[in-house]
Chain A
Amino acid sequence: MTTATTIGPSTVNVQAAIDRFQAVIGSHIASYLEACIHCGQCSQACHFHEATQDPKYTPTLKLVPMTRVYRRHKAPLAGVKKLFGLVPPELTADDLIEWKELIFDSCTMCGRCTEVCPMGIDIASIVGLSRQAMTAAGVGPSDLWEAAENSRTRGSPLGLTPQLLEDRLEWLADDNEVEIPLDREKADVLITVSSIEMMKYPDSIVAMAKVLNAAGVDWTISSKGYEATNFGVLSGKPDIAKIMVERLTTAAEAVGAKTLVIPECGHAYGAMRWSGANILGRPLTFEVVHITEMVAKLIRDGKLKLKPTAESMTYHDPCQISRRGGATQAARDILGAFAKDFREMSPTANHNWCCGGGGGVQAMGSAAELRHKVFQVKIDQVEATGAEHLVSSCANCRLTMDESRQALGWTREIKSLVEVLADQLEA
């Protein structure tokens, strides 16, 4: 697997990074860059720092390349400071290469650091924008870029082409005797999928179909726009990010959907629910909800009959759905409807620890070792609850945890909330 080790200073387009840094700095970003007082409190909130105790993983250190460009080129009064030689030196290729690990491999953009920051600096969003600049310069993890390019050319980071989608849905429908509508002309609800689910956890697609059918939802999947993950956002390729949003928007508008449902995938929710309209440049004509929000509403409306279970469960909050998504309550409403022994982790909900693989880190080979190390935080958290089942609502979290638990020899299985729910449906 190719990584940054193959990138030399000669192949780095530093100017492209500098230009991109400048282009993305708005007043909010500038406020963040200016407000940091280097107190280092964010380090205690970062799982990469806590697992390694290495000061280089202090979140605010990720602001450095952008801050340097800002202070040299864009900050108010930079001109006056330049007269006195008080601006930082120009960014170099070596700087970018040095920061590659910090901007990509060791940040899941989970946003925990923002919570403890006395200045409330949104470091995750700066990392996201810094990825654009690094990528423009040609510095970054090539496997993450490949996943993004796959999305552009083949419709999905894992190569789930429209044809493959159709084949697999047909196979899943036949095998499990469940109706999975594809490309219906009109539907109230457009369901999207994550290729991780489709390729690695197809049971959760089946489960989702069962739940929607049981509730009598008027839904379809569309081959025009099905991939919910957005590796354009994660890899710092805004053009691909826009293509992915456009595909979903086109599909939703084509079927006249009132609601577009994001599957069990954290960053897909953030990319469409909170960034979709901004990437597209116009408001969306439909509502975007996470599958947990959809299901929670179906339960609230009495459309689902569920058998209670006494088995103990704990829930892992995907960062982009809870802390950075605001759909924190939905999963609890669902679990509350059938799990008689639900145990919260500590910390939980909006303060939950990240799985270690968000923000595309899951897809970076160079980050695997670090990611496994970080997962120990989560193991300790889960073990402390003593719950039998660990449930989550993000396929990326699930894949990260599955890989890490194998690497660390942890035997507990990670389950999909929708799958667990489908098992509790009254016949």
Chain B
Amino acid sequence: MTFLQLVEGPLWYLAVVVFVVGVVWHLVGLVRLGRSVDRSAARSSGTAGALKAIALHSVPHGGNLGRTVYHFVTGYAFHIGLFVLVLFAAPHVKFIHDRILGVGWTAMPRWGFLLAAEAAFAGLILMWVRRLTDPVMRRLSDADDHFGVWLIFLVMLTGCLALQEAHDGLRALHMLFVDILLIYFPFGRLMHAFTFVFSRAYTGATYGRRGVTP
């Protein structure tokens, strides 16, 4: 078995299983911690509040935006760039078609790929660099923060290095980091990709019942 066959075969399946089972286990475990019923008399709808909060906390609001602007710009550049790359890069579309869903869609042209990659890299590097230098973020950051950034950076980097699609070795390297990322995902702060919905929704529901949009 070649290295590529390993990382696209057994290791890939293992990674997907760990990712899916891990994330589901994690989220189910989270919900199963339970929450006692709120017996206070609601002034307004909690569900509406939850939906509002999920939407509202996606954009800066509530004043005091000094710090928010930096994270808003770099954060969206990274996240949008990343999702565009994951879903529309031509090799990904083919991989999704051949190996995951059995259906594919139109991949984006090469210039689109490059634009998305530039945005994603710029955003990620700028967020990480701020983590290294900003007194508040330095005080808050732990190993998990840095590990997550490095992991996603290596996945993106190896993916872009393999852009010529001429070397199995580069493809294999990219797949290796993808596998590591998937395996690590349920255990670290990368889980914020799912937990943010819960967090915003719980707050939104609590405040919504009080007639406040948080």
Contacts and interface: CB of A to CB of B under 8 A. Distances in A.
Contact of B22 (A35, A40, A77, A324): A77
Interface string B142-173: 10010000000000000000000000000000
Given A26-B35, A287-B41, A120 B191 contact: no
Interface in A37-51: 37-41, 43-45, 49
Interface string A12-30: 0000000000000111101
Interface string A274-291: 111110111110011000
B211 to A, nearest CB: 4
Given A120-B214, A323-B212, A278 B39 contact: yes
Given A55-B135, A119-B57, A27 B41 contact: no
Contact size class for A?
35 or more
Contact of A35 (B131, B195, B204): B195
A278 B38 contact: yes
A41 to B, nearest CB: 5
Contacts of B35: 26-28
B127 to A, nearest CB: 8
Interface in A53-86: 55-56, 58, 60-61, 74-77, 80-81, 86
Contact of A58 (B131, B140, B145, B210): B140
A76 B199 contact: no
Given A35-B196, A58-B140, A122 B206 contact: yes
User: Which of B140, B207, B213 counts the most A-chain CB atoms under 10 A from its CB?
Assistant: B140
A101 to B, nearest CB: 15
B203 interface: yes
Contacts of A55: 135-136, 138-139
Interface stretch (B59-67, B88-96, B101-109, B114-122): B59-67
Interface string B171-198: 0000000000000001101011001101
Contact of B62 (A281, A282, A283, A351): A351
Contacts of B142: 38
Contact of A120 (B30, B32, B204, B211): B204
B137 A120 contact: no
B39 A283 contact: yes
A35 B26 contact: no
Interface in B65-110: 65-68, 71, 75
Contacts of A25: 33
B52 to A, nearest CB: 10
B31 interface: yes
Nearest to A349: B212
Nearest to A27: B33
A158 B134 CA distance: 44
A156 interface: no
Contacts of A325: 210, 212
Interface in A86-124: 86, 111-112, 114-122
Given A34-B192, A120-B200, A326 B64 contact: no
Interface string A225-260: 000000000000000000000000000000000000
B202 A32 contact: yes
A120 B213 CA distance: 11
Interface in A320-362: 323-326, 328, 347, 350-351
A282 B39 contact: yes
B67 A276 contact: no
A44 B67 contact: yes
A21 to B, nearest CB: 13
Contacts of A49: 136
Contacts of B214: 111, 114-115, 120
B31 A44 contact: no
Contacts of A27: 30-35, 198, 202
A11 interface: no
Nearest to B18: A80
B71 A118 contact: yes
A278 B40 contact: yes
B7 to A, nearest CB: 21
B145 A81 contact: no
Given A114-B214, A119-B200, A278-B38, A77 B62 contact: no
Contacts of B10: none
User: Which of B186, B191, B192, B212 counts the most A-chain CB atoms under 10 A from its CB?
Assistant: B212
Contacts of A111: 214
A311 B173 CA distance: 73
A250 B68 CA distance: 47
Give the top 9 A-B pairs by smallest Cβ distance, nearest first: A76-B29, A115-B62, A277-B39, A35-B199, A326-B211, A31-B198, A326-B210, A40-B136, A28-B202
Given A35-B195, A77-B22, A328-B212, 18 more contacts: A26-B36, A27-B30, A28-B206, A34-B30, A41-B67, A43-B136, A58-B140, A61-B140, A76-B29, A77-B26, A77-B187, A115-B61, A115-B63, A118-B58, A283-B39, A284-B41, A326-B44, A326-B212
28 contacts: A25-B33, A27-B32, A27-B33, A31-B199, A31-B202, A32-B202, A38-B189, A44-B66, A45-B62, A55-B139, A60-B140, A61-B139, A74-B33, A112-B62, A114-B203, A115-B61, A116-B64, A119-B192, A120-B57, A122-B206, A275-B40, A278-B39, A282-B39, A283-B41, A284-B41, A287-B41, A288-B41, A326-B43
